[in-house]
Amino acid sequence: MLASLVLVLAFGQQVAAYHQNICNRAKNAFAAHNMYQGNVVAWGDQDNGGDMGDVTLGVASMSVGSTDPVLCSTAGAFAALKADNTVVTWGNQLQGGFSANSTEELVNVDSLYSTREAFAALKDDGSVFAWGDAGMGGDASAVQEWLYNIEEIASCKDSFAARNSSGAVFTWGAVEGQALETGCVRMYANQGAFACVMDDNTVTAFGKDGYGATIPSGGSAGVSLSNIQYIHSTYKCFAAVTFDSEVQSWGGELGQDGDGCTMSPTVKTALASGGVTQMQSSAYNFAALKDDSSVVFWGQSYDADNSLPYMEIKSQLQSGVVDVFSNYNAWAALKDDGSVVNW
């Protein structure tokens, strides 16, 4: 039975990795969607989403491999996209769990997004409706007049960013205003900043200092972000992969050793030849799988020169790796002999 359930998991701080729509922010409750039957069950802290009360719903069916969730959560509430493209919510009212007064707005919804305490719904006409804690993105009134023809939304812990069909980007929540006038093609987020791959394959970042909003251009932490294909992120860092399969990372407190964002000389050397075929990220670390089946690992408290437990298994990651997986703060590598290395 559990094989047919898609769980909205609960553990506070989430990782905004390759998929920019991070909708799993519940802390003390779970909700499970049966993707075949469309029903939902919830359990855990009753005041923070664990009790659905009198909410009844037939949730939209979800195809295997879909990246747009039909269940979305803040720290204390859940929102569900129904089969008729309306939305129902339950949980902490201050964190988006009460939308009865927004029923007229929550129709014709295509997708849901969340910060820690607010939700946003992207509708089929390209408009956006937000609710929840105003300071965490629940009030989009400052930019509402520009929220039309929206094609993409990204979120960090306390702000939303919306990109329209012209490549302009608007933000609301803790970070508010027009971030870009034009040119953004794809958006990515960590927990405090956003990064856009532009139409010339460069990168523009914006958001909070200490999260990668400022891209360093000089010194040992300097990066040159051109010919960029896609971006991964950790809690405070970004890593960009080029079309030449090279990687550069930035973010955190600029110039601060051990922030997990700046590559050590050893890591830079290991990645200098390119050949990156896959990237993964956890809350505080990155891993790059190369075309020689080796793994390069870096991030906070993990230096390729001197870290435990990584150093204990480092030699096992120098060859034969075919895939790499991560959760919030743990890693596993699948090798070509069917064995698994974890750290």
**Predicted confidence band of residue 316 (pLDDT cuts 50, 70, 90):** very high
Q: What is residue 21's predicted lDDT score, i.e. its pLDDT?
A: 56
Q: What is residue 305's predicted lDDT score, i.e. its pLDDT?
A: 46
**% of the chain with per-residue pLDDT over 70:** 80
> How far is it, in rounded angstroms, from Cα 179 to Cα 171?
7
Q: What is residue 70's predicted lDDT score, i.e. its pLDDT?
A: 79
Chain segment 159-168, per-residue pLDDT in tens: 999 999 999 9
Please state the separation of Cα 138 from the chain's center in Å.
18
Q: What is residue 265's predicted lDDT score, i.e. its pLDDT?
A: 86
CA distances from 93 to 11, 96, 118, 170 (A): 20, 5, 10, 26
Residue 314 burial by CB count (10 A; 0-12/13-18/19+): exposed, middle or buried? Answer: middle
Chain segment 28-41, per-residue pLDDT in tens: 787 877 666 667 77
In sequence order, the 6+-apart residues with CB closer than 8 A to the CB of 276 are 241, 245, 246, 247, 288, 289, 290, 291
CA distances from 320 to 143, 243, 274, 288 (A): 50, 24, 18, 14
Q: Is the dihedral of CA 137, 139, 143, 144 positive or negative?
A: positive
Kindly report the number of other CB atoms within 10 A of residue 243's CB atom: 11
DSSP 117: S
Kindly report the number of other CB atoms within 10 A of residue 278's CB atom: 16
Q: Per DSSP, what are the bridge partners of residue 286?
A: 281, 298
Most confident of 10-24, 252-266, 299-313: 252-266
Chain segment 239-283, per-residue pLDDT in tens: 999 999 999 999 987 545 455 688 888 888 999 889 999 999 988
Q: What is residue 263's predicted lDDT score, i.e. its pLDDT?
A: 86
Give the least confident one: 4-8, 30-34, 72-76, 314-318: 4-8
Q: Is 254 helix (H, G, I), strand (E, B) or coil?
A: coil
**% of the chain with per-residue pLDDT over 90:** 54
Mean of per-residue pLDDT scores for the chain: 83
